[in-house]
Structure 1
Amino acid sequence: MPSKTEWMRSDAFRALKYHSPAAKLDWRAIAELHKFDPAVIDDPEGTVPITTWLDVFEHVAQELGSDAIMFDIFNKMDVGAFSVFDYLFICAPTLRDACKAWKRFMPMRTNAYGLHYHEDEHYGILEWPILEGRGIWCQSMYARIGWAARRFEIVLETDHPPIAIELATPAPKDQSDFLERYGRKVRFNRLRNCISIPAYLLSKRLPQNEDNLYAIIQTSAFRELGLFQNRNSPMSRVANEIAETLKNGTCNLAQIAQNLGMSQRSVQRVLEQEGTTFRKLTEDIRKTAAERYLQSTDLPFKEIAFLLGFSELSTFSRAVKTWYGVPPRKIRESGTRRIN
């Protein structure tokens, strides 16, 4: 299902490569194994396919012998590891502006997904979408959360910021300084990947903000955004919209086209260029989402069936058995730690 044109910035590999304990690994061998040019690690404008990006995070965690280590590695990274994207947050006028800046400038980091930000009565919510069908993404998500939490720690000037973290993954088996420090503020087996910020903090003036400096940072950010924004992936927009729309219990071509502001024929042409169809893509997304829901949540089967757009539990059960050769109960009982 992954699009041939979906990419992520490879500077995350550079940040990982030069940070202990990952610095001790043979990164040339890692590049050869995962079929990317090692020179891209130190290229400030380098990108790699999203599947490669996700696979490398999983590989490094395995090599380091801990399924929780990414929280700690990325939580300890200094500001500047990701260039202007860091400073858009750290130097913003308020926390609300900081979150909105990350959402606005996310296309400079990847064309595979967008970062969402919205507010309700009680919280501002920064949400990373679940990337159905791109491969195993646990470790990369742990890295993002560790890194993002550190930015909140810096601007709020505390190692224990009053934020809440939700992850659509099982809890890791291994210990982590980050998880020990955050304790019950991190909740696993949820339906989303997000950080929630209490509403009373959203208008807080950030200590490192200075208007003239921030104007310079934004100018630099727009320049960098221009370098990457034309490397878009229409396929990603379609796939991500299908994954989100399925959660409402129904999904069809007409609805997806309308949500994207495209004609149905335009959506079909995008999928044809990637060698797939709307029906096939929807089926792939349902399949990987079904495994994730069954293995990383305790949701009742009926609710999972609804979230995947099945009107009847029996139809969902037959689909799972067709995909995996066993009924939903067996998938849940297997306890496999794959998150697709």
Structure 2
Amino acid sequence: MSIHYKISKPIVRSLLAYLDLCGHDSKAVCQSLDINHLDIMNGDGLLPSDVYTTLLKAGANITNDPAFGLHLGISAEPERWGVLGYIMTCCHTLNEAIHCQHRYQDLVGSMGSLTVSPRRDTLRMLWDTDFTPLATQAEEAITGWVAFGRWVTDTNLSPSHIYFSHPAPQNTQPYQQFFNCPVEFDAEFNALEINASLLGTPLKKPDKTMKGRLILHAEERLEDIDEPQTFLKVIKRYIKETLPKKTPELTDAAAIMELTPRTLQRRLKNKGMHFSAVIEETRNELAFQYLADTKNTMADITFLLGFSEQSAFSRAFKRRTGKSPGEYRKTTFE
């Protein structure tokens, strides 16, 4: 099956705005590439991803900037991510914003997905793709996360480690200077790690009421998106359908994907993941979704997520978010 990746118009517009800022007429650039500039500038829908990759390549070429992805990422502001950006801006803490990014990331496209993995003293944010991304794509994504994090907290917070899967450029100084932490190239994945102590950093403009309204809008938008059946999404769909009935098994997931269990395990390992972690992540995503619908009782959600007792669901949710399910629903939607 051929997968058609998408990218949101606000992200493409932010690229065009950056080209204008660099002194290049973005409308003329689009015309030279036979790209519909007017369509990009109107609405907040999704575009074919090759529009973005074509413009990224052109941007790096016409600016003659080897670190074009880095510098594009540094310019990130909430508008780049549309509704998602505004939701994150309204959160109370950095941790809350990260969880919202994870939940509503499909609003900005399907080229890559955020996978959040808690570790002993850090949180790893992995930018996961089912294809080999351009260096500019990976750099823009990871750098944009850091730039936005600094903007929304009004601090100069830095990650503890950066990973890029592409080879190191000739000059790595701009990367070290911006990230202010070890930057590893030729890594097995594209990711950042942030010290867990920073997750409670307050955001500068929290707005519970506006966040609740935006989340309701985001939930409606998600229902209208035709998502590609990427590797992890197929697994997560199986887990979602299985949780109310029994504990999801790697062997069953492998059979659905027409893979051997060993092959599926290897593919997950290559992404720095384990099947049990995917189950936990899927449960967390679904918990946010089910809690947003106030018609769902806590007993309903406990059953849908495959927990044997409501207390087990509450402990798991609080471990991930710092709040009980009831507290989260009350502070977000009531």
Question: Normalized against structure 2, the TM-score is what?
Answer: 0.63
2:253 counterpart of 1:259 = yes
CA distance in 2 between partners of 1:150 and 1:104 (Å): 20
Q: What residue is the counterpart of 1:137 in the other structure?
A: 134
Greater Cα shift, 136-145 or 173-182: 173-182
**CA separation of 1:122/1:182 partners in 2, compared to 1, >3 Å: closer, same or farther?**
same
Counting matched residue pairs gives 253
1:145-294 alignment, distance < 5 Å: 145-174=142-171, 177=174, 179-227=176-224, 229=225, 231-234=226-229, 236-237=230-231, 258-259=252-253, 263=256
Q: What residue is the counterpart of 1:51 in the other structure?
A: 50
1:14-29 alignment, distance < 5 Å: 14-20=13-19, 24-28=23-27
SS at match of 1:125: strand
Supply the AA of the counterpart residue of 2:76. Answer: M
CA distance in 2 between partners of 1:208 and 1:307 (Å): 38
Taking only aligned residues, the RMSD between alpha carbons, in angstroms, comes to 3.5
Q: Percent identity?
A: 15
Q: What residue is the counterpart of 2:94 in the other structure?
A: 95
Q: What residue is the counterpart of 1:116 in the other structure?
A: 115
Supply the AA of the counterpart residue of 1:141. Answer: A
SS at match of 1:215: helix
Question: Normalized against structure 1, the TM-score is what?
Answer: 0.62
CA distance in 2 between partners of 1:307 and 1:126 (Å): 15
Deviation at 1:25, TM superposition (A): 3.3
SS at match of 1:127: strand
CA distance in 2 between partners of 1:91 and 1:22 (Å): 27
2:83 counterpart of 1:84 = yes
Report if aligned partners of 2:74, 2:147 keep a CA contact under 8 Å in 1.
yes
Q: Which runs of 5+ in 1 are unaligned?
A: 242-254, 268-277, 283-288, 290-305, 309-340
Report if aligned partners of 2:93, 2:200 keep a CA contact under 8 Å in 1.
yes
Q: Deviations over 1:275-324 (max 9, x none)?
A: xxx9xxx9xxxxxx9xxxxxxxxxxxxxxxx969xxxxxxxxxxxxxxxx
CA distance in 2 between partners of 1:238 and 1:131 (Å): 9
SS at match of 1:118: strand
Deviation at 1:96, TM superposition (A): 2.1
Report if aligned partners of 2:158, 2:180 keep a CA contact under 8 Å in 1.
no
Q: Deviations over 1:36-59 (max 9, x none)?
A: 432232122343322342232122
